[in-house]
Amino acid sequence: MKIPVNTASHQYDVTIGNEILTTAMESYKDIINKADKLFVLTDENVWNNQGTYFKDHFPYPFEVFVMPAGEECKSFDNFKRAHTFLIEKNGTRKSILFAFGGGAVGDLTGFVAATFMRGIPFIQIPTTILAHDSAVGGKTAINHPQGKNLVGAFYQPEGVVYDIHFLQSLNEREVRSGMAEVVKHAMISDAKWLEKLMACPSLNKMAQDELAFHLKSGIEVKAKIVTEDETEQSVRKYLNFGHTYGHALEAAAGYGELAHGEAVMIGMVYALLLSERYGQINRSFTKSFLQYAYHNGYPFEQVVKYPFETLQPFIVKDKKAEYGELKFVLLSKIGTPFMQPIELAECRNVDSEFRALVM
Ligand code: NAD
Ligand code: ZN
């Protein structure tokens, strides 16, 4: 099935389904036939787990560049190595890149595509649940030693081919991390859908068609938002629901201790508590959502390690603290997000309430 993404700068489709790599790639034959070389950028875990399937099902000849797994592939060093590889393999402005991996490979490859010879086309082939989010919308980036995603560009892919076959080799933690972003998409768009998600006995052990339904729904939300607001001037900010507190936790933990989505799930509970003060979300909903998240293994016990004083500098630094104003994405009710300026003192009060609730 195809979901269109019509951003101001570029229009493309996300194709999603099981075992679709070969057929979906064939619909790109026109641009691929015009290309002089195809380069697949991937990481060692993805290549070890899914390289054989990829080689058997990718219908064109290609060169592969295997990078270190996870955030390491978003380093300046690796960014340079990727460019060197393309230059040494005679890549030109007519070459195409394929990002075969999770959000990290997607972000790095997108930024290499945006910068190699001032920009060449790329196609996303995501392999994680989280990447149903990161592969759509054209945010590309690498990390600076002083912070994550500080160097990057808005650069849209030619398309996204999401073969959910690849998700089979994800470990439980990666599934949990990715599902948090699916839940986020439901929270900011559709109460009925969120009910459905919360009725699943386990986010980790969904049947394949059920998982495909939720991923497709998540992509539709993301596609609609980035279509309306490609460069995060308005509604795209809603995608940061749960992220202000989540990013602070993730940064305080030193990246890696908490997976991104684990931190976001914790941040969403915090944002619900804050939302109670400004809209119709009530404590009984927040508590039932917290139970649901606990039950699905999100590591709330980690919060104790990071007191508010540790989180505070990261909350203040968060990029949504625009023009000195700290703004949170809150919900007036499920499905209806809005931006709310919040004083640091209130942040601290809600942090105390939050700790009392989760411990
Ligand atoms: P990731 O790419 O680091 O993948 C997580 C781990 O799973 C890695 O070790 C990877 O090697 C492994 N892996 C990936 N696919 C696999 C598979 N099919 N089988 C087995 N192992 C596999 O992380 P992620 O969670 O996909 O994405 C996180 C990254 O995405 C972060 O760098 C974050 O900044 C970025 N991100 C970007 C956007 C965006 O809009 N561009 C949005 C959200 C997150
Ligand atoms: Zn996120």
Question: Is 107 annotated as belonging to a binding site?
Answer: yes
- Count up the domains in the chain and report the number: 2
Give the pLDDT of residue 131.
97
Of 233, 234, 205, 248, the C-alpha closest to 354 is: 248
Confidence label for 145 from pLDDT (cuts 50, 70 and 90)? confident
pLDDT attached to residue 255: 73
In this structure, the residue with its CA closest to atom 3 of ligand 1 is 70
Summarised one tens digit per residue, pLDDT across range 278-327 is 999 999 999 999 999 999 999 999 999 999 999 999 998 765 556 678 99
Q: In this predicted model, what pLDDT tens digit does every residue of 159-197 receive, in sequence order?
A: 999 999 999 999 999 999 999 999 999 999 999 999 999
CA of 261 to the centre of ligand 2 (A): 6
Domain boundary among 169, 197, 223: 169
Question: Do 45 and 140 lie in a common domain?
Answer: yes
Tens-place pLDDT, residues 195-239: 999 999 898 889 999 999 999 999 999 999 999 888 888 899 999
Q: Which residues contact 333 (CB under 8 A, 6 or more apart)?
A: 191, 279, 280, 281
> pLDDT by residue (tens digit) across 24-82?
999 999 999 999 999 999 999 999 999 999 999 999 999 999 999 989 999 999 999 99
Q: Could you tell me if 16 and 133 lie in one domain?
A: yes
Looking at the fold, whether 76 and 200 belong to one and the same domain comes out as no
Q: Is residue 105 part of an annotated ligand binding site?
A: yes
Q: What is the distance in A from the centroid of ligand 2 to the CA of 31?
A: 31
Look up the domain containing 208 and give its range.
172-358
Shared domain for 159 and 11, answered yes or no, is: yes
Of 118, 149, 169, the position where a domain reaches its end is 169
Same domain, 204 and 137: no
Is the same domain home to 205 and 156? no
**DSSP label at 35?**
-
Claim to verify: residue 187 and residue 330 sit in the same structural domain: yes
The pLDDT assigned to 117 comes to: 97
Ligand nearest to the CA of 74: 1
Do 142 and 186 share a structural domain? no
Q: Which residue has the higher pLDDT, 359 or 297?
A: 297
Name the residue at shortest CA distance from atom 32 of ligand 1.
104
- Give the ipTM: 0.99
Q: Are residues 279 and 187 in the same domain?
A: yes
Using alpha carbons, list the distances in angstroms from residue 255 to 64, 180, 216, 217.
28, 17, 28, 28
Say yes or no: CB of residue 312 within 6 Å of ligand 1: no
Q: Which ligand is nearest to the CA of 183?
A: 2
Beta strands in 209-251 (DSSP E): none
Rounded to two decimals, what is the model's pTM?
A: 0.95
Q: Of 127, 149, 169, which residue constitutes the final position of a domain?
A: 169
Give the CATH number for residue 160: 3.40.50.1970
Average pLDDT over residues 3-31: 94
Per-residue pLDDT band at 9 (split at 50, 70, 90): confident
Nearest ligand to the CA atom of 133: 1
* In a shared domain, residues 183 and 252: yes
pLDDT score for 343: 93
CB atoms inside a 10 Å sphere around CB 302: 17
To test the pocket of ligand 1, the residue of 260, 262, 264, 265 to mutate (highest count of ligand atoms within 8 Å of its CB) is: 260
164 plus 176 within the same structural domain = no
pLDDT of amino acid 322: 65
Answer yes or no: is the C-beta of 244 below 6 A from any ligand 1 atom. no
> First and final CA of the chain: distance in angstroms?
43
Q: What stretch of H or E contains 230?
A: none
Index of the ligand 1 atom closest to the CA of residue 141: 41
CA of 237 to the centre of ligand 2 (A): 11
- Tell me, yes or no, whether 18 and 93 share the same domain: yes
- Would you say the CB of residue 170 lies under 6 angstroms from ligand 1? yes
Q: Average pLDDT of the chain? A: 94
